[in-house]
Amino acid sequence: MNRLTNKHIILGVSGSISAYKAPDIVRRLQDLGAQVKVILTEAGAKFITELCLQSISKNKVHHNLWDENAELGMGHIELAKWADAILIAPASANTIANIALGKANDLLSSVILANDAPLLIAPAMNLKMYQSHTLQDNLSTLISHHTIIIRPESGKQACGDIGIGRLAEPSSIAKQVAKQFISTKLTGKKVLITLGATIEAIDPVRFISNHSSGKMGMALVNACIESGASVTCIYGNITTTLNAKSNNISIVSAQQMYTKVMDNIAGQNIFIACAAVSDFSVKNASNQKIKKDGGDLTLELVPNKDILADVCKLKEKPICMGFAAETQNMLKNAQKKLKNKGCDVIILNKVSSADSGFNVDENEVIFLSQNLNKKIGKNSKQKVAKKILEIFIKECL
Ligand code: PMT
Per residue in 56-83, pLDDT (tens digit) is 999 999 988 776 666 555 567 788 888 9
Kindly indicate the confidence band of residue 5, based on its pLDDT and cuts at 50, 70 and 90: confident
Q: Which of 148, 179, 210 is the last residue of a domain?
A: 179
Given this model, what pLDDT does residue 386 score? 94
Locate the ligand 1 atom nearest the alpha carbon of residue 347 and give its number.
13
In Å, the largest CA–CA distance within the chain is 96
Q: Are residues 146 and 204 in the same domain?
A: no
Helix runs in 166-214, H state only: 170-178
Radius of gyration of the chain (CA): 26
Best residue for ligand 1 mutational test, from 210, 233, 308, 320 (most atoms within 8 Å of Cβ): 308
Length of the chain in terms of residues written: 397
For the chain, the first-to-last Cα distance in angstroms comes to 14
Kindly indicate the confidence band of residue 6, based on its pLDDT and cuts at 50, 70 and 90: confident
Phi and psi, residue 198, nearest 5°: -85, 160
Q: Are residues 208 and 84 in the same domain?
A: no
Could you tell me what percent of the chain has a pLDDT over 90?
A: 83
DSSP string, 99-126: HHTT--SSHHHHHHHT--S-EEEEE---
Question: 55: which residues sit within 8 A by CB, 6+ positions away?
Answer: none
Residue 158, CA atoms < 13 Å, CB-side half-sphere: 12
> Annotated catalytic, 159?
yes
Q: Which of 179, 214, 237 is the last residue of a domain?
A: 179
- Is 157 inside a domain boundary? yes
The CA distances from residue 101 to 81, 168, 364, in Å, are 22, 24, 47
CB-ligand 1 contact for 254 (6 Å cutoff): yes
CB-ligand 1 contact for 343 (6 Å cutoff): no
CATH code for the domain in which residue 306 is found = 3.40.50.10300
Kindly indicate the confidence band of residue 245, based on its pLDDT and cuts at 50, 70 and 90: confident
Domain that holds residue 161: 8-179
Q: Are residues 173 and 214 in the same domain?
A: no
| Per-residue DSSP letter, 197 | B
Q: Are residues 197 and 284 in the same domain?
A: yes
385: nearest Cα among 226, 213, 232: 226
CB-ligand 1 contact for 216 (6 Å cutoff): yes
Given this model, what pLDDT does residue 74 score? 59
d(CA 67, CA 73): 6
Q: Are residues 251 and 364 in the same domain?
A: yes
Ligand 1, atom 21: closest residue by C-alpha: 324
Given this model, what pLDDT does residue 72 score? 55
DSSP string, 305-367: P-HHHHHHTSTTPPEEEEEEEESSSHHHHHHHHHHHHT-SEEEEEE-SSTTSSTTSSEEEEEE
Q: Are residues 155 and 64 in the same domain?
A: yes
Q: With 80 as the cut, is the pLDDT of residue 242 above it?
A: yes
- Is 185 inside a domain boundary? no
Are 169 and 89 within 8 A, CB to CB? no
- Is 3 inside a domain boundary? no
Number of folded domains in the chain?
A: 2
- Is 1 inside a domain boundary? no
Q: Count other C-beta atoms under 10 Å from residue 375's C-beta.
A: 10
Helix runs in 156-246, H state only: 170-178, 215-226
- Interhelix angle 93-100/133-144, nearest 10 degrees: 50
Q: Are residues 328 and 260 in the same domain?
A: yes
- Say whether the peptide bond before residue 303 is cis (omega within 30 degrees of 0): no
277: nearest Cα among 333, 366, 196: 196
- Ligand 1 centre from 250 Cα, in Å? 17
Kindly indicate the confidence band of residue 52, based on its pLDDT and cuts at 50, 70 and 90: very high
Q: Are residues 167 and 248 in the same domain?
A: no
Q: Are residues 121 and 259 in the same domain?
A: no
Q: Are residues 226 and 137 in the same domain?
A: no
CB-ligand 1 contact for 234 (6 Å cutoff): no
CATH code for the domain in which residue 51 is found = 3.40.50.1950
CB-ligand 1 contact for 384 (6 Å cutoff): no
Q: Which of 179, 200, 222 is the last residue of a domain?
A: 179
The CA distances from residue 25 to 4, 17, 98, 388, in Å, are 14, 14, 23, 36
- Is 2 inside a domain boundary? no
Ligand 1, atom 13: closest residue by C-alpha: 325
Are 235 and 260 within 8 A, CB to CB? no
d(CA 246, CA 359): 22
Task: Name the amino acid, one letter, at 50.
Answer: E
Best residue for ligand 1 mutational test, from 195, 199, 211, 212 (most atoms within 8 Å of Cβ): 212
Per residue in 252-305, pLDDT (tens digit) is 999 999 999 999 999 999 999 999 999 999 999 999 999 988 899 999 999 999
Per residue in 323-375, pLDDT (tens digit) is 999 999 999 999 999 999 999 999 999 898 899 999 999 999 999 999 999 99
Given this model, what pLDDT does residue 158 score? 83
- Is 13 inside a domain boundary? yes
Q: Are residues 307 and 386 in the same domain?
A: yes
d(CA 252, CA 168): 52
Given this model, what pLDDT does residue 66 score? 74
Q: Are residues 122 and 16 in the same domain?
A: yes
CB-ligand 1 contact for 338 (6 Å cutoff): no
